[in-house]
Structure 1
Amino acid sequence: MSTWRPVSRPPRWLAWLPGWALTLLKLSLWIGGGLAVLGLCVALFYFARAGRFDLDEVAAMPARTTILDRDDHPIEVSWGASRHLAKREDLPDFLVQCLEAREDARFFDHCGVDFRGLARATIRNIKDRDFTQGASTLTMQLARNTFDIRAKSIHRKLLEIALTLRIEGRYSKDEILTHYLNRIYFGSGCHGIDEAARTYFGKPVSKLHKGECAMLVGIIRGPHIFSPARNLEGARDQQSEVLDRMIAMGRITPQEKEAIQAMPIDIVPEDQRSAERSYAVQAVRHELGDILEASDIRLDGLVVHTTLATGWQLKLETDLSNTLLEAEQGAGWDHPVHREFTPGETPAYLQCAAVTLESRTGAVLALVGGRDFLDSRYDRTTGARRDLGSAFTPWVAAAAAERGKRVLPGNIMLTGRQIGPREAARISQRCGLGGPFLETEDLFRGSAACTPMEAAVALATLSNDGKRPTPYLISRITNAAGETLFQRKPDLSQAITTAAANEALELFDEVGMSRCFEGQTGSERDAWLLRVGPGGSTSIWLGFDEPTKICEDGRLRKVLDSLGQRLGE
């Protein structure tokens, strides 16, 4: 049986090529065909994966944030209560033009993926050996924000592209940019363009002028650090960059930019921006904003697990209120509980502030920033820096013990002189007190200032064997599916020795279930109660916002005694 076969000859139009070139051409065709098949399989795989996502979520109202106390009981908040979805007709045309100029210049021309930009970014990433460039379009950002596609990997990027193409096939360009603006974060707890317009400027998005439009678009890339409520100068810089992009695209002239920048920007005062109901919830909101920015968390439907102990928070508020009412009645004062205060006016009645920290972790168990949140939203736990007076005594003792000197109860002046005011101030700062501190012996008479929060930290340091905690209000953040997006770990540092901390605590009197130290300034303008309970360290300040003599020393001591007894029950 013959095995002879005729020799295969190339087509005439390839006959002129040498044999090695023909071989290389065939190999290239085989490789190209294989890559095409592989590319098709990859595309089909990612389009199949993208098909599992519900595109109705793109247009849905972002779910509100849920706040829980340390026992996972809901805390009532007002966040998002006024949130609603803007429609395309609500968006000023200038706002849309600014968004296009700043974020996606070819938005109305590409298919959702800017392949030219993507190619440039890919080459740059290969050179940098890292994902330094993303080339994300508005549609890609919408896909990422809606479906939590944030990890920087090739797999995530391919899935994002497939989802982007699906979104482009489902929604019009106007719908896409509207959904994008309704979903993104604008800082200060604002999710969506309309909530941002109302929060910052006190008006709906449809009423924004050109200067406000450019400013809101400018802060998108850094909503926390460029929030006009906390960094108006930075927000103006971003506004200028947006307008420069508008000039580069031929949308406005330099003269028009000057006119737009001259438009008045009136930011809504902080005490009118939200409808919170307590200082503690207000503080949680501020901390949440910091975490969302630092951790790049933008999902809706967040569940925020706080450290607040609702029962103790209520007891602290109630005991403070009752004690101060009794003091005012005894002094013949009237607390104007029903009076309405104009914005920015300081209520002129006896104020208070209190913080309780879990000593071993720094978790905030309770926070009272003032007497009446409806009258004044000014948080005195971090804003009121007042003299400690005789309440500075435990830290003078701790400083002396830290340096191996004798602690002389009842004679704090001699105790402090053994180390000098500068060393006493330095060790007190290590414990958490912020100062300022006098550099004379008047320091030992209490000429040292701090906030109630700092006093609580320094007290927790004494009651935690000299370990200084960093205070925090949020322990964990999860999404609606229960997945952990943020987890806080206690941050402790050894400030002083255990022996020095324990010797300072010996100055505290036993009151009920707690150990308390009372102190007031010589001018009787500030009074402090320091309490170490079974699991928490509490600092309480009493006084007027405008420093004024509270009452006679004997009466003031009775007020502090009564408060200490109440808290120890």
Structure 2
Amino acid sequence: MKWLKEERFQYWKRWGMLLSRLMIIGIVLIGVSFGSLYLLAVIMGAPEIQVPQTTIYYDHDQNVIDESNKNGQNRYWVKLDNISPNVIDATLAIEDRSFYTHPGFDFKRIGGAILADLKAMSKVQGASTITQQYARNLFLEHDKTWKRKIVEAFYAYRLEVHYSKNEILEGYLNTIYYGHGSYGIESAARTFFGKSANDLTLAEAAMLAGIPKGPGYYSPYADAERAKNRQETVLDAMVANDSLNQSEAQQALLENMALQAFNEETKQEVAPYFAAEVKKELKSKLALDERVIDQGGLHVYTTLDADMQKTADQWVASSIDKNSDIQAALVAMEPTTGAVKALIGGRDYEKSKFNRATMAKRTPGSTFKPLLYYAALKNGFTPSTLVRSEPTTFYYDNDKETYSPHNYGEAYANDEITLAQALALSDNIVAVKTHMFLEEKTLVKTAKDFGIKSQLSPIPSLALGTKPVGMMEMADAYSMLANGGKSVTPHFIEKVTDRDGKVIYQHEAETEVVLDPAAAFVTTDMMTGIFDESLNDYTRVTGSGIDHLLTRPAAAKTGTTSTDSWMVGFTPQLTAAVWIGYDKGEKLNYRNDGLYAKKIWANFIEDALKGEEVLEFEPPKNVIAVDVDPQTGLLANENCPTKRLAYYIEGTEPHELCADHLGLAEEERKSPKGFLDRFFQWIR
């Protein structure tokens, strides 16, 4: 019997040693496998995380004005520190209690899932950790196959090797789908409760944490009772996970949450034409492609003033007959910086995405005249220079061609009028005479100095704006006058940051003195004349119908052709250009269409600057102001019925008193009494 016991002992000893060796070999193999897996994960490096994110556009006050949520997908990325702790606790409790201790997958949950699947003979139960779900959201499809699960586990392990637990949790919370186009907790918080993820209450966090298991099933928009039951399940899990006590869970369950009214319709953009220009600028200035612009999670800080844009939209919509096919465009920009504050490219973006403010070129008419008179001031003319207004035929091209312009309504002074009056009354004859005197090429060169890039021709009619130009060009040119002769570049973007908050573009203003400041200011002062009834003569100043709408100093010019109606002007703070016309060049009916541009411009300027300080145009040092008689352009005397304060480049101001209202004997008029009078008479 002894030898039998010994033989059995030796038998089990051999099996024991074999099992021990096998266990050692197994442990070694597992160790080598895990070591190899770790080495492979290290060699392969961190998986590149490219999560599509919604690009957000802001106005100048950093209010959201647009988002690139194409196909109804909203994606925002927020730091873990900016997510309510309630969300974190609720998510961990219901999704992955062992998140901070497992290496990317939970063996206990995997074992339970395998048994359940074997029992059902199909893939019925998941055991995915938060890391695995994050890996699936980033790199894999959502089909339930063993191959996908194995690959998912490897991706999860790579994430665990190269990223911290908090980084993984942050990524998961920013990519998980909550239904209704909302990807990530920030989007879900906005969609369901109209707030940021950082401000979610315990009840709201528990409600949202329960949705990802079945976004179309547990959403409160789909079934409120089912969502409430799921919320209770989440709160119970939090109690079991020691995240809160039973009393806190019960209190949260009773909370009356303010759920947002859900609307599947696409939100109307604040300024669609403006937004389109911003995207163009992202491509041209930053060289970004469509994918980065739409899914790069950029934060684009624009120049838009949302209140000004709303004002512009309201006045364009309310000023034009709704049944009219006429089109309208408006540009408003800050003259000192070139920042575009409001933009309308047409009456309805959905019907026509063609941006008439930036893409169309139309004949500017008399809005081109301020450029001409600036050139005249630079070449010896003054606001008091007298030019005869009467029907005139002009010869050009070596006298081979003729040009016979007409004043509006065939009205003429048939006498001399001052240059200041000619601009205020929009006299075409005086404009062409001045243009021809300077030689036609002078205006072409001057227009280029003003930033006009459109093709111009040195022809007599150029003085009347017969060559097409863009609205942005005209707004830019007028801004140079408002800015004291300094050039500005119209722009739509101030700053762009990437998804991590790093600044990738910052607008830097570049200004250069291009125009003569004195001549620019005197031109500006002449442009205020369109609102000054004292300059009325054979007709009224062109701003007479809207001057009562303005409560602040403004300089402007109207422009009309058979197919285009313009109003362009500025205050010290704001330049605005308005255009009215038909896309196909149909002729305007001025009884119905003629006043649209002027009324829109004046009302917009007033409302846009409401509450802003009323500023005067500040003259430079080499400009002098004198009181003149507006009809003669000479120094006003005490007997002149009307006086107008006018500005001149120093040394060009009038020195002779107005003789029409002196009330003196003819001899006394011809013989100035004072020494200075005699001196000025002598030097003439």
> TM-score, length-normalised on structure 2?
0.42
Match of 2:67, SS? coil
Q: Which runs of 5+ in 1 are unaligned?
A: 1-46, 86-145, 147-164, 172-273, 329-333, 336-348
Q: What is the aligned partner in structure 2 of residue 394 from structure 1?
A: 370
CA shift at 1:392, angstroms? Answer: 1.0
Counterpart for residue 554 of structure 2 = 515
Alignment correspondent of 1:550: 588
Aligned equivalent of 1:373, options 329, 336, 349: 349
Q: Whole-Å Cα distance in 1 between the matches of residues 73 and 286 of structure 2?
A: 19
**Corresponding position: 1:413 with 2:413:** no
Q: Is 2:55–2:296's contact at 8 Å kept on the other side of the alignment?
A: yes
Please report how far the alpha carbon of residue 81 of structure 1 lies from its aligned counterpart in structure 2 after TM superposition: 4.1
For residue 517 of structure 2, the aligned residue among 463, 473, 498 is 498
1:359 touches 1:464 (CA, 8 Å); kept in 2? yes
How many angstroms apart in 2 are the aligned matches of 1:354 and 1:560?
9
Measured against aligned partners, the alpha-carbon deviations of 1:263-297 in whole angstroms (never above 9, x if no partner) come to: xxxxxxxxxxx996610111111111223327998
Cα distance, 1:301 vs structure 2:
2.3
Residue 359 of structure 1 aligns to a residue in which SS?
coil
- Three-state SS of the structure 1 residue aligned to 2:588 is coil
User: How far is 1:168 from its partner?
Assistant: 13
The yes-or-no answer on 1:441 pairing with 2:456 is no
- 1:561–1:479: structure 2 CA closer, same or farther, 3 Å change rule? closer
Shift of 1:516: 4.8
Change in Cα spacing, 1:60 to 1:441, as seen in structure 2 (3 Å) is closer
Query: Counterparts of 1:99-498 in structure 2 under 5 Å?
Result: 278-293=272-287, 300-325=296-321, 334-335=323-324, 349-407=325-383, 408-409=419-420, 410=422, 411-498=430-517
Structure 1 residue 311 displacement after superposition: 0.5
Q: Which amino acid aligns with 1:541?
A: W
- How far apart are the structure 2 equivalents of 1:499 and 1:489? 27
Distance 2:497 2:49 in 1: 22
Alignment-derived partner of residue 55 in structure 2: 65
Q: Are the counterparts in 2 of residues 529 and 539 from structure 1 also a CA contact under 8 Å?
A: yes
Check conservation: 2:482, 2:571, Cα contact below 8 A: no
Q: 1:287 to 1:390 in 2, by over 3 A?
A: same
CA shift for structure 1 position 433: 2.1
Instruction: Name 2:629's counterpart in structure 1.
Output: none
Q: Is 1:565 matched up with 2:585?
A: no
- Give, as a single letter, the amino acid of the residue that structure 1 aligns with 2:345: G
- 1:383 CA drift (Å): 1.5
Given the superposition, is the C-alpha separation of residues 401 and 297 from structure 1 closer, same or farther in structure 2, using an over 3 Å criterion?
farther
Change in 2 beyond 3 A, CA 1:304/1:81:
farther
Who is 1:132 aligned against? none
**AA of the residue aligned to 1:535:** Q
- Equivalent position SS for 1:392: helix
Please give the alpha-carbon distance, in whole angstroms, between the structure 2 residues aligned to 1:290 and 1:168.
40
Question: 1:514 touches 1:568 (CA, 8 Å); kept in 2?
Answer: no
CA deviations 1:447-480 (Å, max 9, x no partner) are 2321111111111111111112111111111234
Q: Which amino acid in the other structure matches residue 52 of structure 2?
A: P
User: For each residue in 1:171-216, what CA deviation from the matched residue of structure 2 results, as whole angstroms up to 9, or x when unmatched?
Assistant: 9xxxxxxxxxxxxxxxxxxxxxxxxxxxxxxxxxxxxxxxxxxxxx
Q: Which amino acid aligns with 2:455?
A: P
Q: Deviations over 1:347-384 (max 9, x none)?
A: xx101111111101111111111111011000111221
Inter-CA distance 382–481: structure 2 relative to 1 (3 Å threshold): same
Q: CA deviation at 1:522?
A: 3.9
Offset of 1:558 from its aligned partner? 3.2
Q: Is the 8 A contact 2:482 2:572 kept in 1?
A: no
Q: Is the Cα–Cα contact under 8 Å of residues 446 and 521 in structure 1 kept in the other structure?
A: no
C-alpha distance in structure 2 between counterparts of 1:352 and 1:415, whole Å: 32
Looking at structure 1, the residues matched to 52 and 374 of structure 2 have their Cα atoms a distance apart, in angstroms, of: 52
Quote the offset at 1:166 in angstroms: 6.5
Give the Cα separation in 2 of the matches to 1:353 and 1:391. Answer: 15
* Contact kept in structure 2, 1:398 and 1:500, CA below 8 Å: yes
Tell me if structure 1 keeps the 8 A contact 2:365–2:464: yes
Q: How far did 1:556 drift?
A: 4.3
Instruction: Find the residue that maps to 1:382 and give its secondary structure.
Output: coil
Structure-2 separation of matches of 1:564 and 1:385: 19
Residue-pair matches, total: 319
- Partner Cα separation in structure 2 for residue 292 and residue 82 of structure 1: 26
Amino acid of the structure 1 residue aligned with 2:527: L
For 2:60, the aligned partner's letter is R
Structure 1 residues 476 and 309 mapped into 2: Cα distance closer, same or farther (>3 Å)? same
**Kindly, what percent of the aligned residue pairs are identical?**
25
**Deviation of residue 169 (structure 1)?**
8.9
- Residues 432 and 454, structure 1, Cα contact 8 Å, conserved in 2: yes
- Residues 285 and 81 of structure 1: is their aligned pair in 2 closer, same or farther, counting only changes over 3 Å? farther
- 2:565 aligned with 1:527, yes or no? yes
Distance 1:434 1:293, change over 3 A: closer
Deviation at 1:422, TM superposition (A): 1.1
DSSP-derived class of the 1:541 partner: strand
3-state SS in 1 of match to 2:505: strand
Q: Deviations over 1:529-566 (max 9, x none)?
A: 112134111111110001111113x5544334422331
What displacement does 1:434 show?
A: 3.0
Preserved contact between residue 59 and residue 302 of structure 2 (Cα < 8 Å): yes
TM-score, with structure 1 as normaliser: 0.50
The 2-side partners of 1:314 and 1:534 are apart by 21
Alignment CA distance shift 1:382-1:565 (3 Å): closer
TM superposition shift of 1:568: 3.7
Contact 2:579 2:597 in 1 (8 A): no
Name the SS for the 1:417 alignment partner.
helix
Deviations 1:469-500 (A, max 9, x none): 11111111123443322111012232211112
Shift of residue 435, structure 1, vs aligned partner = 3.3
Q: Within 5 Å, which residues of 2 pair with 1:48-63?
A: 58-59=48-49, 61-63=51-53
Deviation string for 1:317-352 (max 9, x for gaps)? 111121122xx7xxxxx23xxxxxxxxxxxxx1011
Contact in 2 for aligned 1:61/1:84 (Cα 8 Å): no
Question: Which residue matches 2:576?
Answer: 538
Q: Secondary structure at the match of 2:61?
A: coil
> What's the secondary structure of 2:320's corresponding residue?
helix
Other structure's SS at 2:60 match: coil
Measure the CA separation in 2 of the matches of 1:69 and 1:465. Answer: 27
Larger Rg: 2
